[in-house]
Amino acid sequence: MYSVIIRIKKETAGDKLEFVKRIIENQYINKFGRIINSSRESGTLVFEGEGDEAYACMDYATSRLILQKDVMDSIESWEWIDSDDPEENGSILNSYEKYFNKK
């Protein structure tokens, strides 16, 4: 099973929090599938799925979200969890920050 856990910065609140959550949730409904946020915590989003369709949906959502600076600036942490291959687990946010901050 694949899981993505996104935590929004605590200082992101009110209308801004709802805006960021809506943008993120909408990216997980795409041409590769539909994965719904299962978190009940207001500042946390959890997307889970199995198989190639879920992987493609999550990968595509990631590729779209990293281009949205207003959303990226509001994310505290963004974790990828692969229960079948734990060596693949890690921080999506850290990976992309390293890539985009290269000089």
Q: What Å distances lie between residue 7 and 33, 53, 86, 102, CA to CA? A: 22, 24, 20, 24
pTM: 0.91
DSSP string for residues in 50-62: -HHHHHHHHHHHH
Using a pLDDT cut of 90, give the percent of the chain over it: 84
Total structural domains within the chain:
1
Query: CATH number of the domain that 47 lies in?
Result: 3.30.70
CB 14 within 8 A of CB 74: no
- Structural domain of residue 24, as residue ranges? 2-100
Q: Which helix (H) or strand (E) holds 30?
A: strand 29-30
pLDDT band at 103 (very low <50, low <70, confident <90, very high): very low
Taking only the tens place, the pLDDT of each residue in 19-49 is 999 999 999 999 999 999 999 999 999 999 9
